[in-house]
Amino acid sequence: MFEYAPAPESRDVVDIRPSYGLFIGGEWVDSQGENRNKTVNPASEEVLAEVAWATEADVDRAVQAARKAFGVWSAMPGSERAKYLFRIARIIQERSRELAVLESLDNGKPIRESRDVDLPLVAAHFFYYAGWADKLGYAGYGPAPRPLGVAGQVIPWNFPLLMLAWKIAPALACGNTVVLKPAETTPLTALLFAEICAQADLPPGVVNIVTGAGETGAALVNHPDVNKVAFTGSTEVGRQIARSVAGTGKKVTLELGGKAANIVFEDAALDQAVEGIVNGIFFNQGHVCCAGSRLLVQESIETELLDALKRRLGTLRLGDPLDKNTDIGAINSAAQLAKIRELSDLGEAEGAERWSPACSLPDKGFWFPPTIFTGVAQSHRIAREEVFGPVLSVLTFRTPAEAVEKANNTPFGLSAGVWTEKGSRILWMADRLRAGVVWANTFNRFDPTSPFGGYKESGYGREGGRHGLEAYLDV
């Protein structure tokens, strides 16, 4: 592999304040609590800013602001709401470099991904749902579907701004107002988004951002005046939320974990499949709920495929997320790194064989090399649990029926991938795979027009597309 000269993106485009309050009712306000949280750059452990830690009373203020704004926002003609959403989408495009750099600083993901994947998709979501705002009567949910009210939205740290867009854009298009809680380790782009709402002259209280930890999220989903709960995160917290809102009449969507099978048949185009496997599990350091974390390879091509995959992994560049050459960035937090290490050590202890390419890890920050486990049995914990890191478990199969059986042998059901040159086999597989999304000869493709969501322990409800409107309408 030849060397690339460093090509760091300048961080001068972002102006990070030393300290942030809460964005409630269109204004920056202090938290009523005394706790504050430091958010760090996971690539260097440098403290980026201090953010407020919203208490139950703060959450209550935010919900009240959203309730007040609901009257104005829901009464506004859809065509007027659309103008605001289009305006937000355009400001996101104008400020996309700033947002991408901030996302990479706070999250650790490579700038190439935040710039070329996250940000374009964020803007696309707002554009797409702006288009729906005045056409809700034609969406298939009755001639005049009504919004639900105040949406309480809790999002994770793996795609901070993109998850915000998935939640806020459809909610607003349908006439709801929102209180959103970003993840503790990645609050900064949500706070910049609050500035964008102000810049777009969005009526006060339509979007409220409360930063904090798990308790803040719990206070939000349990607030009696919240009509709709939207959550993306771990299955464990998803379960708690499902329990706490049961019987309250709140509408809920849960987008939880996954353990996707990426299935490669012997007739697949191998080089393409290798790229798809790399994209499936090493994109965003594997911090992806729909990551292709289980590679199911047909036995006849196992050696050939693994040799090609290992050669390819040897060319991945791990390091500074702001360098435009970087393929693998930092792990988002010390806690997540500890979890990845623990599960990987367990994989070895259970008898699987571990392999990583030669790659030096920076001294500071949280890092984990791309890792492959071979000789994995279906019962191994690395084959069953979500590692949520750059760790691939390799299993083999002989027949299509065995591939289906093994792919579906998981408590999750979010996504799957199929690599074969036969269209009929793709359809045959897609019919049988219990997964919300099945990609064929590609992986990790997202589009605002396409619904996304899971079966079983991956959650319920759909986000994106026309289906994503249903979650925010009284139908």
Catalytic residue among 103, 113, 184, 255: 255
Name the nearest CA neighbour of 35 among 16, 61, 56, 66: 56
Task: Tell me the closest approach of the beta carbon of residue 415 to ligand NDP, in angstroms.
Answer: 11
388 scored as a contact of ligand NDP (CB under 6 A): yes
Site for ligand NDP in 235-274 (CB under 6 A): 237, 240-241, 256-257
Is residue 135 close enough to count as binding ligand NDP by CB under 6 A? Answer: no
Q: Is 289 noted as a catalytic residue in this protein? A: yes
CB nearer to ligand NDP: give 104 or 293.
293
Indicate whether 154 belongs to the interface with ligand NDP (CB under 6 A). yes
Contact status: 339 vs ligand NDP (CB under 6 A): yes
Binding piece for ligand NDP, criterion CB under 6 A, among 52-60, 62-70, 106-114, 180-188: 180-188
Pick the closer one to ligand NDP by CB: 24 or 273. Answer: 24
Min. distance of Cβ 210 from ligand NDP in angstroms? 11
Q: Between 132 and 166, whose beta carbon lies closer to ligand NDP?
A: 166
User: 3-state SS string over the chain?
Assistant: CCCCCCCECCHHHCCCCCEECEEECCEEECCCCCCEEEEECCCCCCEEEEEECCCHHHHHHHHHHHHHHHHHHHHCCHHHHHHHHHHHHHHHHHCHHHHHHHHHHHHCCCHHHHHHHHHHHHHHHHHHHHHHCCCHHHCCCCCCCCECCEEEEECCCCCHHHHHHHHHHHHHHCCCEEEEECCCCCCHHHHHHHHHHHHCCCCCCCEEECCCCHHHHHHHHHCCCCCEEEEECCHHHHHHHHHHHCCCCCEEEEECCCCCEEEECCCCCHHHHHHHHHHHHHHHHHCCCCCCCEEEEEHHHHHHHHHHHHHHHCCCCECCCCECCCCECCCCCHHHHHHHHHHHHHHHHCCCEEECCCCCCCCCCCCCCCEEEECCCCCCHHHHCCCCCCEEEEEEECCHHHHHHHHHCCCCCCEEEEECCCHHHHHHHHHHCCCCEEEECCCCCCCCCCCECCCHHHEECCECCCHHHHCCECC
For ligand NDP, the binding residue among 66, 122, 151, 218 (CB under 6 A) is 218
Kindly name the residue from 174, 197, 289, 290 that is annotated as catalytic: 289
Considering the complex, state which of residue 187 and residue 400 has its C-beta at the smaller distance from ligand NDP.
187
Which member of 181, 380, 406, 462 binds ligand NDP (CB under 6 A)?
181
Contact call for residue 170 and ligand NDP (CB under 6 A)? no
Q: Is 183 in the site for ligand NDP (CB under 6 A)?
A: yes
Least distance from C-beta 220 to ligand NDP, angstroms?
A: 7
Q: Does 343 bind ligand NDP (CB under 6 A)?
A: no
CB of 235 to ligand NDP, least distance (A): 7
Query: Count of residues binding ligand NDP (CB under 6 A)?
Result: 26
294 is a contact residue toward ligand NDP (CB under 6 A): no
The answer to whether 197 is a known catalytic residue is: no
Q: Which of 111, 164, 179, 221 binds ligand NDP (CB under 6 A)?
A: 221
- Give the shortest CB-454-to-ligand NDP separation in angstroms: 9
Return the active site residues.
255, 289
Residues making contact with ligand NDP (CB under 6 A):
154-158, 181, 183-184, 213-214, 217-218, 221, 232-234, 237, 240-241, 256-257, 289, 336, 339, 386, 388
